[in-house]
A and B are shown apart, each in its own frame.
Chain A
Amino acid sequence: MLIRSCKIINNSPLSENIYSMTFECLEIAGKFKPGQFVTVGISACGIQRLKRPFSIARCKDECVTILYQCVGLNTRALSECTAGMILDVTGPLGNGFKVEHNSNALLISGGVGAASLLALAEELLARGNSEVKLLFGARSANDLALRDFFAEIGLDVFVATDDGSEGLHGYVTELLDDYLMKNKQPDIIYACGPKPMLKEISSQALVKGIESQFCLEAYMACGLGVCMGCAQKIVHDGEEEYLRVCKEGPVFFAKNICWD
């Protein structure tokens, strides 16, 4: 966990409201694991707000890239930052995905959740796992900006859109149903996206006995593990307990997550 002032190298829109931001940070780039995140503050730009969490999508050449969607005040302010500006960055935070040398991994994303799976996909491929696939859920064909990152690194991507404007017409969980019927069962599922999606994947995976790891989101205040604000109920040592998404998470084994 490091606190750094980082210079923005590039901040550009990928679609109407999804942005890619790259900033310099040799130390974070050097030690992060897929699934970990940073918190980014814009107070150096004159706005005092809580730092917000974003998955580390990719680290390259001493730089960190996050992929984010504008949903409110902080992300909108972030989208207005330009190259050369300084951000307050803390990271790398949390525990990443546990990556085994399995040959058959299935990645599932909903919306901007794909951002937390990109570095994982790269790592799986780098470790020689040839059969990595991604099921990518989005609202419509306009929201597929992040898919191209996965296609570029050579992943097979299957798409589902809520409005049917591309790929399967329906939720990504229906795509999963379909995929599991037609393909060899994956050894492991890694997923990130909205809670209802994850809950549904969890029950499908449980029935089939597929181990799953999910990257969860929670509203955070400190991101450091001190405020207990980001609680998620998890089965831990046989008991249900509120754990910190920012510290014990954000990645949890699906079988341990208590859904409300």
Chain B
Amino acid sequence: MNDLSVQIGKVLWKNPVSVASGTFGCAEEMSEIMDIGKLGAIFAKGLTLKPRSGNPPQRIIETPAGMLNAIGLQNVGVDEFIKNKIPFLANFDVPVYANISGNSEHEYSELAKKLDGSGIAGIEINVSCPNVKKGGMAFGLDPDLVASVTRSVRKSTELDVIVKLSPNVTDISLMAKRAEQEGADAVSLVNTFMGLAIDINQRRPYLANNTGGLSGPAIRPIAVRMVWEVYNSVSIPIIGMGGIVDTDSALEFIIAGATALSVGTGTFYDPLSTVKIVKGINQYFEENNYKKIIELVGSLVFN
């Protein structure tokens, strides 16, 4: 195996392949069917200060080359996460990131304070969840709010801070720049695109929440384009995602400028896709004589 390690902020990942928040739980179930230790990093299920029961069903609908979801951030709350999930996640020698959502700047900084020193590698700020009524994505759509949330989390923790950007904006690189200015160690993109799927027989949306977030291969070309734009605007590392299902799609993101990547919906198509991608990237390195991931990052030859 080649050295596929990448540096994200203060943390060294053994390879660039991670799992996206909300698509891997807290690794308990997945540990039954795969070797978690093979992952570059884990982004745990989105957390809020208090437990959340989530949206009523139906929460999922498959769409062409992807799916819409409106889970509504069902989660056990940060205290339970620290008490019962982190000890399990710590078993694998893989950096773990908590993904946090709040209704106010204050909630974000409270979450960060609680997680500081809890044994995780860093905090991913979710300013882009489209499925909760208050807060959530509202923060991700306004550059000043992205900046102020980043600032208050930055002040509340020594841990690495990653800002997860919403793609539901006109200029995503502006959001990335503001996050960088406020001290983010990295940005991750993209979260899901707001979408609507209609049951024509009932003339109603399939999802009880009406709208949901679109993920999967359907969004990949837009996500790759956004990674390229952000790569040209900031100098902090990018964690790229959106429709990665195999080695080729993973490499697209790295060539566009991502230092690392996350697989979300790809895990649903094939629970073992992440380990296959690690192997595939290794093979690509051998065939093309690359030595370090960083040689490839942003190596896109633009026409």
Residues in chain A within 8 A of chain B (CB atoms): 1-3, 41, 43, 48-51, 74, 88, 90, 218-222, 224-233, 241-242, 247, 260
The chain A residue with its CB closest to the CB of B269 is A48
B contacts with A: majority SS: loop
Closest 3 A/B residue pairs (Cβ): A229-B60, A226-B25, A225-B29
Contact A227 B58 (CB under 8 A): no
Residues in chain B within 8 A of chain A (CB atoms): 22-25, 29-30, 32-33, 45, 53-54, 56-62, 65, 67, 69, 71, 74, 217, 245, 265, 267-272
Q: List 7 A-B contacts (CB under 8 A).
A: A49-B62, A221-B67, A226-B267, A227-B60, A230-B60, A231-B57, A242-B54
A contacts with B: majority SS: loop
Chain B residues positioned under 8 Å from A260 (CB to CB): 56
Contact A229 B29 (CB under 8 A): no
> Per a CB cutoff under 8 Å, which of B29, B61, B217 touches A224?
B29
The chain A residue with its CB closest to the CB of B32 is A1
Contact A88 B270 (CB under 8 A): yes
Contact B69 A227 (CB under 8 A): yes
Known: A221-B265, A224-B271, A227-B71; 16 extra A-B contacts, CB below 8 A, are A41-B270, A48-B269, A51-B268, A74-B62, A90-B271, A219-B57, A222-B268, A222-B271, A226-B23, A226-B25, A226-B29, A228-B74, A229-B60, A230-B60, A231-B57, A242-B53
Cα of A218 to Cα of B29 in the assembled complex, Å:
19
The chain A residue with its CB closest to the CB of B60 is A229
The chain B residue with its CB closest to the CB of A74 is B62
> Per a CB cutoff under 8 Å, which of A1, A2, A221, A225 touches B60?
A221
Contact A231 B23 (CB under 8 A): no
Cα of A90 to Cα of B272 in the assembled complex, Å:
12
Chain A residues positioned under 8 Å from B245 (CB to CB): 48
Chain A residues positioned under 8 Å from B24 (CB to CB): 226
Contact B33 A48 (CB under 8 A): no
CB within 8 Å for A231 and B59 given contacts A1-B33, A48-B217, A247-B29: yes
> Per a CB cutoff under 8 Å, which of B23, B53, B54 touches A222?
B23
Contact A3 B54 (CB under 8 A): no
Chain B residues positioned under 8 Å from A222 (CB to CB): 23, 267-268, 271
Chain A residues positioned under 8 Å from B217 (CB to CB): 48
